[in-house]
């Protein structure tokens, strides 16, 4: 079950990937997470990546491809994996085809207004990292963390104008990749405008239909 997940920021891709990863025992591979870990460890790779991140630049294709190739050669990827955040350029998509054969590419869609509603209600605890939502996961006391009592904050990234801008960038970046996979017949669109559990069930229905998981 070799999967690629694509979707705009705030669509909940990471949440769905985590749920499928846990249930079916395949790793959820986020290049962003790998880079953050390597930077935190201060490894050689981390130092190389940090140079670009600090300048606000994208990490070059060669480095990203190398990282993914190495990660996919680990034994835990034998049964499959979920790639999240990769590929993000056509060159990366072509390189991935050289590394392995992908079974399906799931494209998560929802109207922008729904994404904005979801994201702008998010509240984060700056102290312990707990995540809340004013509507779906409110803290017991408004704006106060249930876990540690710190005052919750709203991230700048979750403001509607930022979400809109990131959505535009997402469309520009991913349209060629989406078309690439559509032409290959690998693209499956998933309606992600419902609650997370429903979306996960929809993913499972798709994977069953594709014969990637059993009934
Ligand atoms: Zn907290």
Tell me the per-residue pLDDT of 24-61, one tens digit each, with 9 for 90 and over. 999 999 998 999 989 999 999 999 999 998 998 889 99
% of the chain exceeding 90 in pLDDT: 87
Tell me: pLDDT of 201 over 90.
Answer: yes
Q: Ligand 1 centre and the CA of 131: distance in Å?
A: 8
Rounded to whole angstroms, how far apart are CA atoms 96 and 66?
10
Rounded to whole angstroms, how far apart are CA atoms 198 and 102?
25
Q: Which residues are annotated as a binding site for ATP?
A: 10-15, 122, 131-132, 194
Q: Does residue 91 carry a catalytic annotation?
A: no
Choosing from 48, 69, 91, 166, which is the catalytic residue? 166
Q: Does residue 137 carry a catalytic annotation?
A: no
- Structural domains of the chain sorted by starting position, each given as residue range(s) with its CATH number in brackets: 2-111+172-209 (3.40.50.300)
Q: Which residues of 88-99 are buried (b: 16+ CB within 10 A; e: fewer)?
A: bbeebbebbeee
pLDDT of amino acid 214:
83
Choosing from 23, 47, 151, 155, which is the catalytic residue? 155
Q: Which residues are annotated as a binding site for Zn(2+)?
A: 125, 128, 145, 148
Q: How buried is 1 (Cβ within 10 angstroms: 0-12 exposed, 13-18 middle, 19+ buried)?
A: middle
Tell me: pLDDT of 196 over 70.
Answer: yes
pLDDT of amino acid 49:
92
Q: Ligand 1 centre and the CA of 10: distance in Å?
A: 21
pLDDT of amino acid 187:
98
Q: What is the mean pLDDT of residues 153-178?
A: 94
Lay out the sheet containing 104-109: strands in order across.
Answer: 28-30, 81-84, 2-6, 104-109, 187-191
Please provide the average confidence, as pLDDT, over all residues in the chain: 94
pLDDT of amino acid 136:
85
Q: Ligand 1 centre and the CA of 118: distance in Å?
A: 20
Q: Does residue 123 carry a catalytic annotation?
A: no
Q: What is the mean pLDDT of residues 73-101?
A: 95
Q: Which residues are annotated as a binding site for AMP?
A: 31, 36, 57-59, 85-88, 92, 155, 166
Q: Does residue 182 carry a catalytic annotation?
A: no
**Model pTM score:** 0.89
């Amino acid at each position: 079950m070799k999967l690629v997940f694509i979707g705009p920021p705030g669509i909940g891709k990471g949440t769905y990937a985590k749920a499928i990863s846990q249930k079916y025992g395949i790793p959820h591979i986020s290049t962003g997470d790998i880079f953050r870990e390597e930077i935190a460890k201060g490894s050689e790779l981390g130092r190389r990546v940090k140079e670009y991140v600090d300048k606000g630049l994208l990490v070059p294709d060669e480095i990203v491809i190398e990282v993914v190739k190495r990660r996919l050669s680990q034994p835990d990827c034998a049964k499959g994996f979920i790639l999240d955040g990769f590929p993000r350029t056509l060159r990366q998509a072509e390189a991935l085809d050289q590394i392995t054969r992908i079974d399906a590419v799931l494209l998560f869609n929802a109207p922008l207004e729904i994404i904005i509603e979801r994201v702008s209600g998010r509240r984060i605890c700056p102290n312990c990292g707990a995540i809340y939502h004013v509507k779906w996961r409110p803290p017991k006391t408004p704006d106060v963390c249930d876990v540690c009592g710190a005052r919750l904050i709203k991230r700048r990234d979750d403001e509607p104008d930022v979400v809109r801008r990131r959505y535009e960038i997402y469309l520009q970046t991913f349209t060629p990749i989406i078309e690439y996979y559509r032409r290959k017949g690998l693209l499956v669109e998933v309606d992600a405008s419902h609650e997370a559990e429903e979306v996960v069930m929809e993913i499972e229905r798709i994977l069953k239909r594709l014969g990637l998981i059993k009934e």
